[in-house]
Amino acid sequence: MTKPILELKNINTTVNIGTSEEKRILKDLNLTLEKGDFITLLGTNGAGKSTLLNVINGSLSPTSGKVLMNGEDITLLNDVKRAKYIAQVFQDPKMGTAPRMTVAENLLLASKRGQKRGLKLRGLSKHMDEFKQATAKLPNGLSNRLNTFAGSLSGGQRQTLSFLMATLQNPDLLLLDEHTAALDPNTSEQLMALTDEVVSNKDLTCVMITHQLKDALKYGNRTIILHAGEIVLDVKGEAKKQLNEKEILQYFEK
């Protein structure tokens, strides 16, 4: 029997322990992701969405509980070591790219994700045709800017590059933390269409935080709603297809 891609077992996170600001964020949370799950994750501010992603990516250690990846306990692995399995695109387009490196150089770095590498970039020229092909169908004319420094790109171009970098090596798990929130509506729609196409074509397992109810309903095979650190709704398949905005909003009135 195939092991789940990810298992979170009885995850608790408490911050500022022993101070007047102590707060329990995630509460005995259990979650299993199977291969190919595309989860749209909803919840009010403070519900624990970003904390959940941080526990998964290793930048935050749970106070208690276990994190399993492909059946292996990775609870004690930090975010650097988890980069072999997990890729993430953040809300801020500036966070996923190196501004003083060209688009092609950023892609070369992404192609070596999880591998040991020196300080020098090697063999860039032999990858140019590959990178040209990889960016050819992307929005924002990125394929014509392979030699442009990432810091000179528009926000939409930079976020599209971040997404391509995150998915270049087919990660076991892709985390999207409101990756279209900082973009204008048209660019956001283009990137969401690209996201759906890539996740589907590559059969990636993905968790996407969004505040857009229409995106939560339109994309993915599974929708989860967090409230006060607990999963209050987890639907997939036909149950998700029957879900509507009015039903979702009820969970935000608690």
pLDDT digits over 206-218, tens only?
Answer: 999 999 999 999 9
In a domain, 39, yes or no: yes
Number of domains in the chain: 1
pLDDT > 70 fraction of the chain, expressed in percent and rounded: 96
- Chain segment 94-125, per-residue pLDDT in tens: 898 999 999 999 999 888 776 665 545 567 88
Is residue 1 included in any domain, yes or no? Answer: no
Residue 193 lies in a domain: yes
pTM: 0.92
Asked if pLDDT for residue 221 goes beyond 90, the answer is yes
Find the domain containing 197 and state its range. Answer: 6-114+126-250
195 inside domain: yes
Residue 110 lies in a domain: yes
Domain membership of residue 209 (yes or no) is: yes
pLDDT higher than 90, residue 220: yes
Q: How much is the average pLDDT of 132-151?
A: 87
* Among 80-84, 116-120, 156-160, 179-183, the least confident range: 116-120
Residue 121 lies in a domain: no
- Give a yes or no: residue 16 inside a domain: yes
pLDDT tens digit string along 12-64? 999 888 888 889 999 999 999 999 999 999 999 889 999 999 999 999 999 99
Sign, CA dihedral 252-43-23-27, equals positive
CATH at 48: 3.40.50.300
Average pLDDT of the residues in 179-194: 91
